[in-house]
Amino acid sequence: MTERVVLAGADGTAIGTALKSEVHTTATALHFAFSAWVTCQGKVLITRRALGKQTWPGVWTNSFCGHPGPGESTTDAVIRRAEFELGIPANALSNLRVVLPDFSYRAVDSSGLVENEICPVYCVELDSQAQWQPHPDEVDTWEWVYPANLIAAADSLPAVFSPWMCEELAEPELRAALQSQAH
In this structure, the number of other CB atoms found within 10 A of the CB of residue 49 comes to 21
Beta bridge partners of 155: none
67 annotated to a ligand binding site: yes
CB burial of residue 51 (10 Å; 0-12, 13-18, 19+): exposed
168 annotated to a ligand binding site: no
Q: Residue 29 half-sphere exposure, CB side, CA atoms within 13 Å?
A: 18
Q: Of 65, 119, 123, 166, which one is the catalytic site residue?
A: 65
Bridge-based pairing state of the strands 104-108 and 114-118: antiparallel
Active site residue 166: no
135 annotated to a ligand binding site: no
85 annotated to a ligand binding site: yes
Q: Of 3, 40, 72, 117, which one is the catalytic site residue?
A: 117
173 annotated to a ligand binding site: no
> Running DSSP on this structure, what letter comes out for residue 50?
P
Active site residue 22: no
Question: Would you list which residues are annotated within the binding site?
Answer: 24, 31, 67, 85, 115, 117
Residues taking part in catalysis: 65, 117
Q: Which residues are annotated as a binding site for Mn(2+)?
A: 24, 31, 67, 115, 117
